[in-house]
Structure 1
Amino acid sequence: MRASVVRNGPTSVIEPIDSIVKVRGISKAYGNVEALRGIDLDFPRGKLTSLLGPSGCGKTTLLKIIAGLIDADAGTVAVEGKTVTRPGPERAFVFQDFALMPWATVIRNVAFGLELRGTRKAEREDIARHYIAEVGLASFEDKYPHELSGGMRQRVGLARALSVKADVLLLDEPFSAVDEQNRRKFQEDLIRLRTNQNKTFIFVTHSIEEAVYISDRIVLLSPRPGRISQIIEPDIDRSGDPERIHRDKHYLDTVDEIWRGLKRYVE
């Protein structure tokens, strides 16, 4: 491991990070159900951080608070030093259920955020075409969502998030609705996009293997109320053959370490 930081216990010393998103004291309850309690967390600029933990631990709630889609009961979120009070252009959200407009073509869906900003049609369509190609959907610009597979619809959602040129991309289990083959391909594409686009990704997943495969940093949350249990930075070389990673000793050891940390929460 490069670094493993344990909250509420012995803490390893790691170098300060260049944070684009700072979460301080975030708590959230839904009625009598406490979802999050006292979350303090920094998200490194240009890195992919996964939120991982048992069902109901508040992963998606935290993501939506960062997005400005729901309000916290206590605490603050700041992006580039500015307090988050609502959704903003520096953040883009990729929903689990695609959230595409069924009556609009692929290019219209991808360009929609730019349309809302008042970008000229020719310019926004040029930008949309670029990101449609980036996610592997070139030649599908004029198709409608019902003409696409689930995996292709998710690619449209990702292209839409990329097209608005947000600094922070928030992804809520974006690959959960696709088959294993497409999921593997998406993971490879995401690693490539992270390198090419130099954006900050915050990624919610239930899969330990997925988190270790794609992440620079993994935040483990405890069961409800969600608190930071551990932060792990996988020491994995992602160059070369992607299939080699799944056989890499560091990859396998990291998966085992995370499972040991989580299995005590599984009944």
Structure 2
Amino acid sequence: MAVTAVREKPSAIHTSLEAIVEVKGICKSYGNVEALRDINLDFPRGKLTSLLGPSGCGKTTLLKIIAGLIGASAGSVTVDGKRVSGPGPERAFVFQDFALMPWATVLRNVAFGLELRGTGKAERDEIARRYIAQVGLSGFEDKYPHELSGGMRQRVGLARALSVDAEVLLLDEPFSAVDEQNRRKFQEDLIRLRSAQNKTFIFVTHSIEEAVYISDRIVLLSPRPGRVSQVIEPDIDRSGDPDRIHRDKHYLDTVEEIWQGLKQYVE
């Protein structure tokens, strides 16, 4: 297991030659509440990075700043060298609460981002059907959100994000509203999709086990104001039987190490 501690130089920028997203000196305050302080991170192209930390540490705030959904109080975010000033086509966001249009079918929901971009109906429907199949929802194209389970609605949200062919996918606790069985299946699907799509994923989670299971890198944030505490790279072989990972010594050791670092913040 490779662990990179960054406490000794909190103002340093941890970059990679293959970084697609760079976060430099990000601070965020809401009135007198300081949510984030001097966040400096890079996110490597084609990797899945999880943001993990105690409740209120600013994980979702940081994700939304990267998405361009909210502005920072200080600092900058660049994607492929271009400064973020708002949402952009190179980024797609998967919301925790699905954020589907209740009046639209699965097909229309998945194709909606393409529709906004002016893609013709035949082309966008073809693309949407392809990603609906990839997330395991073939046959549900004409269903409406209220006819789907929570897990199926989340799959629609993921298919919508994939369909616009964004380079960076930002996921805000996307599996928190589904049962444990569906959550495990989604985790396996996400590992498979990341490998097949070669996209960059930035994933917010409260679950240590989930972060270690799916991530190439895990960024641990300190309690508010959120700062980078550690960057951990789990040394886990994810090929073969997914159930084997949960019994892997490196997996178990990494989960325990992270828990030992975070439990002091649990009331």
TM-score range, shorter-chain basis? over 0.9
- Structure 1 runs of 4+ with >6 Å offset: none
Measured in 1, the distance between the counterparts of 2:18 and 2:154 equals 30
Hey, what's the Cα distance between the residues in 1 that align with 2:242 and 2:48?
17
1:117-175 Cα offsets, whole Å, 9 max, x none, are 00000000000000000000001000000000000000000000000000000000000
Q: For residue 235 of structure 1, what is the aligned residue in structure 2?
A: 235
For 2:15 and 2:48, how far apart are their aligned partners in 1? 17
Question: Residue type of the partner of 2:230?
Answer: Q
Residue 10 (structure 1) shift:
8.5
Gaps of 5+ in 2: none
Look up the SS of the partner of 2:70 in the other structure. Answer: coil
The residue number in structure 1 matching 2:18 is 18
Moved more, 14-23 or 55-64: 14-23
Tell me, in whole angstroms, the C-alpha distance in 2 between the residues paired with 1:122 and 1:80.
Answer: 30
Provide the rounded CA distance (Å) in 2 between the counterparts of 1:108 and 1:10. 48
Residue of structure 2 equivalent to 1:146: 146
Residue 6 (structure 1) shift: 1.2
1:52 aligned partner: 52
Residue 9 in structure 1 maps to residue 8 in structure 2 = yes
Secondary structure of the 2:41 match is: strand
State the shift of 1:266 in Å: 1.4
Taking the aligned partners of 1:243 and 1:82, their CA distance within structure 2 comes to 40
CA-to-aligned-CA distance 1:233-267 (integer Å, 9 cap, x gap): 00000011111100000000000010011111112
- Deviation string 1:192-239 (CA, Å, 9 cap, x unpaired) is 000000000000000000000000000000000000000000000001
Q: In 1, are the aligned partners of 2:135 and 2:159 still within 8 Å (CA)?
A: yes
Structure 1 residues 17 and 180: alpha-carbon distance in aligned structure 2, compared to 1, 3 A threshold: farther
| Greater Cα offset, 15-24 or 103-112 | 15-24
Q: What pairs up with 1:79-98 in 2 under 5 angstroms? A: 79-98=79-98
How big is the shift at 1:5? 1.4
The one-letter code sitting in structure 2 at the alignment partner of 1:5 is T
CA distance in 2, matches of 1:240, 1:175: 23
Distance 1:15 1:115 in 2: 35
- Letter matched to residue 175 of structure 2: F
Taking the aligned partners of 2:180 and 2:196, their CA distance within structure 1 comes to 24
Q: Are 2:138 and 1:105 equivalent residues in the alignment?
A: no
Specify the alignment match of 2:158 in structure 1. 158
CA distance in 2, matches of 1:5, 1:74: 25
1:72 and 1:79 mapped to 2: Cα distance?
15
Q: CA deviation at 1:59?
A: 0.1
SS at match of 2:103: coil
Partner of 1:204: 204
Q: Which residue is equivalent to 2:75? A: 75
Amino acid corresponding to residue 116 of structure 1 in structure 2? L
Question: CA 1:10 to 1:133, structure 2 compared with 1: closer, same or farther past 3 Å?
Answer: same
* Cα RMSD after superposing both structures: 1.3
Looking at structure 2, the residues matched to 126 and 162 of structure 1 have their Cα atoms a distance apart, in angstroms, of 13
Q: Which amino acid aligns with 1:75?
A: G
Q: How many residues align?
A: 264
The alignment's TM-score, normalised by the length of structure 2, stands at 0.97
**TM-score relative to the length of structure 1:** 0.97
Instruction: For 2:116 and 2:7, locate their aligned partners in 1 and report how far apart those are by CA, in whole Å.
Output: 44
Q: Tell me, in whole angstroms, the C-alpha distance in 2 between the residues paired with 1:168 and 1:56.
A: 24
Contact 2:16 2:44 in 1 (8 A): no
Once residues 111 and 71 of structure 2 are traced to their aligned partners in structure 1, the CA distance between those partners, rounded to angstroms, is 28
* 1:35-84 superposed Cα distances (whole Å, 9 cap, x missing partner): 00000000000000000000000000000000000000000000000000
SS of the aligned residue for 2:128 comes to helix
Q: Give the Cα–Cα distance (whole angstroms) in 2 for the partners of residues 145 and 112 of structure 1.
A: 14
Please give the secondary structure, in 2, of the residue aligned with 1:63. helix
Deviations 1:102-122 (A, max 9, x none): 000000000000000000000
Retained in 1: the 8 A contact 2:16–2:42? no
Paired residue secondary structure (1:137) = coil
2:7 and 2:230 in contact (8 A); partners too: no
- The sequence identity of aligned pairs, in percent, is 83
**Aligned-pair CA distance for 1:17:** 4.3
Contact 2:175 2:186 in 1 (8 A): yes
Q: List gaps (5 residues or longer) in structure 1.
A: none
